[in-house]
Amino acid sequence: MVYGGKSVYGAVLGILMLEARFPRIFGDIGNATTWSFPVQYRVVKGASPDKVVRQDPMLLVDDFIAAANELVESGCDGITTNCGFLALTQERISKAVPVPVATSSLMQIPMVQALLAPDKKVAVLTISKNTLTPAHLRAAGVKNLDEVPIFGTDEGHTFTRSILDDHEAIDFEACRQDMIDAARQIVETDRDVGAIVLECTNMTPYALDVRKVTGLPVFSIHSFVNWFHQGLIPSRFPLDLDDPRSGPF
């Protein structure tokens, strides 16, 4: 017997999207080809990058909740978002929907910190150091706020402005250089940094560049969402005792 109850099957992860026009390259959360599994999207009307990053996203939380519930009704078993600053909405959205919610890449910080030696710390690379506050980190579950150094691409020439001002044409090589410059600043400023978490979901295409420049592990929304999805749909390992991989050898 097979039972239904959903409108859509096979795409259990729902992604809440800001309303924006800038191009989304391979690796960006908003480019569906980034994912090795199907996803469902909902655009939250009026939720511009500027309003969410530079202003107060809590003014839009009811709209995010409504969109999240639409995704659940469409068959999603988990919800994420395309902006790390939406950590502020984590508690409200998770209380309002019946499935797990992972609003922000910043939620990886406590887990990554647990991987490091006691004398090492996690640095955050954000699109807007000027507006990322202790409240964002606290909402993401970070306890030792003073031990998380924050670095940004604010001083770069292209990345921050192109995304937050929603440019319809972007020089992505210039964005890459902004990311490389910011990554270098991390290791030149603080030798105690042992890993980096990328706050911004548009930074994933440059994660390997950051890794190469710093020599440090780099965690992004891509690493977080893949981990999240693995919990929603665990890999299947059929029991086949004739398969030599079943061991013992």
Q: State residue 101 phi and psi, 5-degree precision.
A: -130, 135
Number of H-type helices and E-type strands within the chain: 9, 8
Q: Which amino acid is at 242?
A: D
Assign residue 114 a region: left if phi > 0, alpha if psi is -120 to 50, beta otherwise? alpha
Rounded CA separation 182/23 (Å): 22
Helical spans, DSSP H, in 26-60: 49
Q: State residue 235 phi and psi, 5-degree precision.
A: -65, 145
pLDDT tens, residue by residue, 213-243: 999 999 999 999 999 999 999 998 877 767 7
Cα radius of gyration (the chain): 19
Q: Quick one: 9 exposed, middle or buried, by C-beta within 10 A (0-12, 13-18, 19+)?
A: exposed
Q: What does pTM read for this prediction? A: 0.93
- CB 89 within 8 Å of CB 61: yes
Rounded CA separation 113/117 (Å): 8
Q: Which amino acid is at 123?
A: A
pLDDT tens, residue by residue, 133-153: 999 999 999 999 999 999 999
Query: Can you name the residues that pair with 151 across neighbouring β-strands?
Result: 125
Q: Quick one: 188 exposed, middle or buried, by C-beta within 10 A (0-12, 13-18, 19+)?
A: exposed
pLDDT tens, residue by residue, 70-113: 999 999 999 999 999 999 999 999 999 999 999 999 999 999 99
Q: State residue 214 phi and psi, 5-degree precision.
A: -100, -25
Domain boundaries, the chain: 13-104+226-232, 105-220
12 Cβ contact list (under 8 Å, min separation 6): 75, 76, 77, 78, 229, 232, 233
- Class for the domain spanning 105-220: alpha beta
CATH topology for the 13-104+226-232 domain: Rossmann fold (3.40.50)
pLDDT tens, residue by residue, 187-199: 999 999 999 999 9
